[in-house]
Amino acid sequence: MSVNPADSQIFGSLFGTDEMRDLISDRAQLAAMLEVEAALARAEASLGIIPREAAATIPAAARVELLSLDKIAASTRTVGYPVVALVAELGRAAGADAARYIHLGATTQDIVDTALVLQMRRAVAVLRRDLIVTARALADHALRYRDTPIAGRTHLQHAVPTTFGLKCATWAAPLAAHVARLDQAAARIFVVQFGGAAGTLAALGANGPAVAAALGRELDLGTPDLPWHVTRDGLAEAAAICALICGSLSKFAFDIILLTQTEVAEVFEPHSASAGSSSTMPQKRNPILSEYILAATRAVHAMVPIVFSAMTQDHERATGPWQSESLAIPQIFTLTAGALARARDLAAGMIADPARMRRNLDATRGLIMAEALAAFLTPSMGRAAAHHAVARACDRARAEDRALADVVADDAELGRRLSREDIQRAMNPASYLGSAGVFVDRVAARVAALK
């Protein structure tokens, strides 16, 4: 039985991905901790602190399958951390001669934190890959529908025409920005943790900084200016970027949900047999991908404050905040990966209906072109006068249930200023798209440059 649906055999495929679960699983965490212990042995041997024979034996024994997971679990229940038992099990597997050189100068948090950084680096690579794939799919739609008019909506009401291409570019643009954020943050997040008992590395004498640097090189991680046992901004930044990714995905999903409403019906999720079906209504095609994107992203946004509050750590080692990170960070990455996987599928397969977009543009019988009409009249009337005159015409069109073009043509003031050709030209949605195409091209170029 799973407490968290993201880990459930039944619901797991909706909230997370097997790939991300494998990267943050118990087994993956133990493997990462063993990787750190092996790298520490190699680093210390390279500096002549431990024998080179030990640096060969310890990494060879640092395999999860050689350890007793039952013993590690039992010890963790008593000690509160898995590292004590992990070191003992690694020593048993490596043999007595090598065992005395394992974990030299380190503390539990050094191993756990550095292992977490290794796991996060692999997790971020997955997120980065799927961000690019999703952004490219959206950019393809943006270019395909670059000049396809659609009703722009503000406060859930028709505003002015825009293009479906620009909507797709609006969904794609922040994903490209998130790739840049991940790349820029890497130097701050992917750093080794090595401070010993209280952040001084006193057990290694004058060799502490050299060992930390060598450990970083072994693991291809940066070396911070000092140990970050109680300075958790790197982890908080990683969680924050996940939250930003989820915010952008939730915007995309929410727009799709609104566009699939029966009364709108301009865009649909990719369809296959039984996808989004109802147990009682045969006609239903629910936006199920979008719904689970929203569910996952809301959970991420709820858990990020745990990581931020864990930055308040006491003295040189925290009494509780550090432990709380493990409740949030694995779920944050799993749910972000799940939301992104759903968004990737949605972006690749969503179905647009330009004909319906056009019908909806015409649904208000020209009212959506009121601003365009006012702009057309502004040179001859002035902005304020043109605005008020068109507003009066809109009120009359609503009251009389008539097309705005007909009301304008019959209006004593506006009719003498505008010919029928002027009215048709001013009220053509395709002629009032502003710089939409320019914006689409900019985003498409930005996405195309991602690597």
DSSP letters along 241-299, please?
Answer: HHHHHHHHHHHHHHHHHHHTSTTT-SEE----TTTT--SS-TT----HHHHHHHHHHHH
Enclosing H/E stretch for 102: none
State the sign of the Cα–Cα–Cα–Cα dihedral 404, 410, 413, 418: positive
Matching residue, tokens 């840049």 = 180
Query: Please, how many CA atoms are within 13 Å of residue 378, restricted to the half-sphere of its CB?
Result: 11
Q: Using CB atoms within 10 A of its CB, is residue 254 exposed (0-12), middle (13-18) or buried (19+)?
A: middle
Q: Which two tokens stand for residue 89?
A: 């099990």
Contacts from 76-81 at CB under 8 Å and sequence distance 24+?
A: 80/323, 81/108, 81/112
HSE value, Cβ hemisphere, 13 Å, CA-based, for 147 = 2
Strand partners, 161: 151
What residues are annotated to the active site? Answer: 278, 317
Residue whose token pair is 């963790």? 76
Q: Which residues contact 123 (CB under 8 A, 6 or more apart)?
A: 20, 23, 24, 333, 337
Q: What string of DSSP letters covers 403-428?
A: -HHHHHHH-HHHHHH--HHHHHHHT-
Strand partners, 153: 158
CA distance 438 to 345: 27
Instruction: Spell out the residues 6+ positions from residue 177 whose beta carbon is closer than 8 angstroms to its own.
Output: none
Strands 267-268 and 157-163: unpaired
Choose among 32, 10, 110: nearest CA to 330.
Answer: 32
Alpha carbon distance 34, 245 (integer Å): 31
CB 187 within 8 A of CB 81: no
Name 94's Cβ contacts closer than 8 Å, sequence gap at least 6.
54, 57, 58, 60, 61, 62, 102
